[in-house]
Chain A
Amino acid sequence: MNIQELNARLAATDEEDESLEDSSQFLTFLMADEEYGVDILKVQEIRGWEQSTAIPNAPDYVKGVLNLRGTIVPVIDLRIRFGLPAIEYSPITVVIVLKLEQAGKDKIMGIVVDAVSDVHTILDSQINQSPELGDNKNSRFINGLGQAQDKMLILLNLNDVLNI
């Protein structure tokens, strides 16, 4: 699925009525062979990776800032943020622009992922609590595990992703 198609589907989700009760839609993306999902209502748009402007003395997972039609938006490499091995960016590397909460304020930011995958509708009953992972530093970003067809999705809540 290419970016145009996905953006079109994103726009369509606003109009779809909630025919399925107690379900949510998730945009899924790939990172290190795992499929992750974010709440589609948080997604603003998806764009291809482009060179961003580095911020001095920023944490290594902050790739820099880019110009989103006149707004300055930070870009975060989610691989580095999650402690996964970094990879070279390729033509299919994408930036998902999300509206997230940081310290109680709405902020727009982009996350770099390997590739976007699909949009899934998941019943709330199909979402399982993620197993207690003790003091795993990434566990606070994981909302739960979802089941779509026979794939397992890791559902993320990226609020306060900038806070260490």
Chain B
Amino acid sequence: MSVDLSQFYEVFFEESFEGLDVMEAELLNLQPGTPDDETINTIFRSAHSIKGGSGTFGFSSVSDFTHVVETLLDQIRDGQRQLTQHQIDLFLQSVDCLRGMLDSLRASEEPDTQVSSELKKQFEAILSGEDAPTEPKGAELAEPSTPKANKKQQGWNISFKPGLDILKTGNEPIYMLLELADLGEVDVQLDVEQVPVLGDIDPEICYFQWQIALKSDCEQAAVDEVFDWVIDESDIVIDAIKAEVEDSEQEYALAEDDNASTQLETAESITDPPTEVVKPTETNKAPTKAEPKNTEASSIRVSIDKVDSLINMVGELVITQAMLTQLTDGELDSSKLARIQEGMAQLAHNTRDLQESVMRIRMLPISFVFSRFPRLVRDTSKKLGKNIELKLLGEQTELDKTVMEKISDPMVHLVRNSMDHGLESPEERVASGKSEVGLLTLNAYHQGGNVVVEIADDGKGLNTEKIRSKAIENGLIKDTDELSEQDINELIFEPGFSTADQVSDLSGRGVGMDVVRRNILALNGSIELESRPGQGSTFTIRLPLTLAILDGQLVRVGEHIYIIPLVNIIESLQVDVSKVNNVGGEYEVLRLRDEYVPIVRLYESFNHTADSNKLEDGLLVVVENDNGKVGILVDELLAQQQVVIKSLEANYMRVEGISGATILGDGTVSLIIDVAGLVKLAGINKALRSISHLNKEEVA
């Protein structure tokens, strides 16, 4: 066993955290009473893998703790025990506790066992309750007997009866015997009693049993470790040779085995307790040996079908490339031209498909973020004394991993906010004629090139009056300001604003909503708020699907080429001058069907020289942004293509009206227009001009 296990730590942690997530989600589905078998099984399996894994890697604090959890789960699974709400809460706390322990192990720190031993005591209390079958004896006896047994033992008598299916689960008894041989001198006796007549032998079943005498001064934990993976499906009894005190609990185990061949799982819970006492001293060395690793390599799990489609795509690409090589090999004549063109078209197609597939790898379903909310809502609603039902919709909506990571904190904040400020207490709800249970809905869906996430509650909505007076108090607005209801509601996104009468544990510190908005803006997203007094409020977050690539329309103004994101564009048209009005000498508006669309002259906003300053000579690209439609006047439309977004800020600074840059096919840089920013810029320029106009008048 000289393999360096630390290389697998990261995989173990990742799987364990996944397992904990699964446990948590399933626990939240559990109802007290007789639970659904499948649910309990899923929880049990997760706990079991964590226990097995942590045992293998020598994280004894985790495996010991998980073992107790597992024992209780096992009894519930076997119907020996009724599931109570208290137990569910305890299990949820253990999930948190395990998460904490694994976190510290991951950071190569010694986990804090205070919480776990506290919880362990509670578990043991439950286990030693009236109908606990065998555990108490084992647990009580383990403490006094094993330390003594360790004193003068010179070896171990091991009875190893593997389960019939042990080979099918990928375990090989021979290796275990060899491992035992590494520990000291072994004397192995094979017991072939169980082997049936030749005709009845199933080659995949293990009929052998062994009696092993191991002469070694190793501790029992070392022996246990050998059988770590098979302990559940096998009968293993380990006795110390020449131990002064008999391991009475193990005697008991033998007796138990005889009359209850079906209770293999319980046998495990009996043989294990001594292990728990010895293990910490033995295996604690492992984690300290690991080199401190601070570089948290983030990885991503990709479904196999995405990888398969990628492999197919690359195959196609290779074929196309081979075809083109063959065509261009030797004399080039015009007869081949058509086929080369065809090949190039195919190559373009392959490249695009490949690019899309690669992008898809980064896409994960939003359920990764959503999955943390059931727990959050459960805990928070308890704390607040509110009845809240959480509804999750569109969990399969896919989103770029980077975007996902950055959106989760703002969402937590919004959800907490809805629970704390939005939804009312049951009494208030009944008084206002609503159902006692408040409804909180998280909904995700795709719209155009965006992902939309809605967080809606059916609570009391925003208190516009209160926000207004608070804003006046905080100096955000003056009491003479005329603001629409919507404008007032949006003040909650301003820095240093909070309406909570009392600063609660959850929210109300006045930092938050502005941070939420800032985070979302940083992702090129937007957040909107809709509130209906007495009916609830809805926060709508809009996010780009991905941060790396966009479909762009190349446009030309004079000698400058810009890119307008295709998702923003509604249509492009030639301006009919007769339908253009000049509103108050400030800006021009085009009447487009039954709408009025303000015109932004790109050359004016960006200070460039255009081919012509006349509206009718150029083309109007009608784009949509948050506040409606705007027409952007350009000289010419060029190609449409996908562009890779590069940062302009990395080496320069933020430019108003520009969201980034890209490199065109010929190697030159082209800038990508940020429609919302451009509209703002155009407004500013207009305002500046009218100011300078006024200034001139004053001078005159």
Contact = CB atoms under 8 A, between A and B. Distances in A.
Interface of A: 51-58, 62, 64-67, 70-74, 102, 107-109, 162
15 contacts: A53-B561, A56-B605, A56-B657, A57-B681, A58-B655, A65-B669, A65-B671, A67-B663, A70-B646, A71-B650, A71-B651, A72-B647, A72-B651, A72-B669, A162-B653
A74 B647 CA distance: 12
B218 interface: no
Given A66-B669, A71-B646, A55 B655 contact: yes
B661 A65 contact: yes
Nearest to B670: A53
A107 to B, nearest CB: 5
| Most chain B C-beta atoms within 10 Å of own C-beta, residue among A55, A72, A109 | A72
Instruction: Name the residue among A54, A56, A72 with the largest chain B CB count within 10 angstroms.
Output: A56
Nearest to B557: A56
Contact of B668 (A53, A56, A57, A70): A53
A72 B650 contact: yes
Contacts of A52: 669
Interface of B: 560-561, 605-608, 646-648, 650-653, 655-658, 661, 663, 667-671, 681
Given A57-B655, A70-B646, A71-B650, 5 more contacts: A51-B668, A53-B560, A53-B671, A72-B647, A74-B652
Given A56-B657, A67-B669, A72 B652 contact: yes
B670 A108 contact: no
Contacts of B561: 53
A73 B608 CA distance: 21
A56 B655 contact: yes
A48 B655 CA distance: 26
B624 to A, nearest CB: 22
Nearest to B646: A72
B652 A57 contact: no
Contacts of A107: 650-652
B606 A74 contact: no
A33 B316 CA distance: 60
B606 A65 contact: no
B650 A65 contact: no
A62 B668 CA distance: 17
A48 to B, nearest CB: 14
A54 B560 CA distance: 8
Q: When A and B form their complex, which 6 residue pairs have the shortest distance between CB atoms, in order from nearest?
A: A56-B606, A53-B669, A74-B652, A107-B651, A72-B661, A108-B651
A65 B671 CA distance: 9
A75 to B, nearest CB: 10
Contacts of A64: 669
Contacts of B681: 57
Contacts of B605: 56
Nearest to A56: B606
Nearest to B558: A54
Nearest to A162: B653
B652 A65 contact: yes
A53 B660 CA distance: 13
Contacts of A102: 653
Most buried by B among A65, A108, A162: A65
Contact of A55 (B652, B663, B668): B652
Nearest to A65: B669
B643 to A, nearest CB: 13
B671 A73 contact: no
Nearest to A55: B655
Contact of A74 (B651, B667, B668): B651
B646 A57 contact: no
B669 A57 contact: no
A108 B652 CA distance: 8
B606 A72 contact: no
Contacts of B669: 52-53, 64-67, 72
A65 B606 CA distance: 15
Contacts of A56: 605-608, 655, 657-658, 671
A53 B668 CA distance: 7
Residue among A51, A52, A67 facing the most chain B CB atoms (10 A cut-off): A67
A70 to B, nearest CB: 7
A44 B576 CA distance: 52
Contact of A65 (B560, B607, B648): B648
A109 B651 contact: yes
A56 B583 CA distance: 26
Nearest to A68: B651
Contacts of A62: 652
A118 B176 CA distance: 73
Nearest to B605: A56
Contacts of A108: 651
Contacts of B606: 56-57
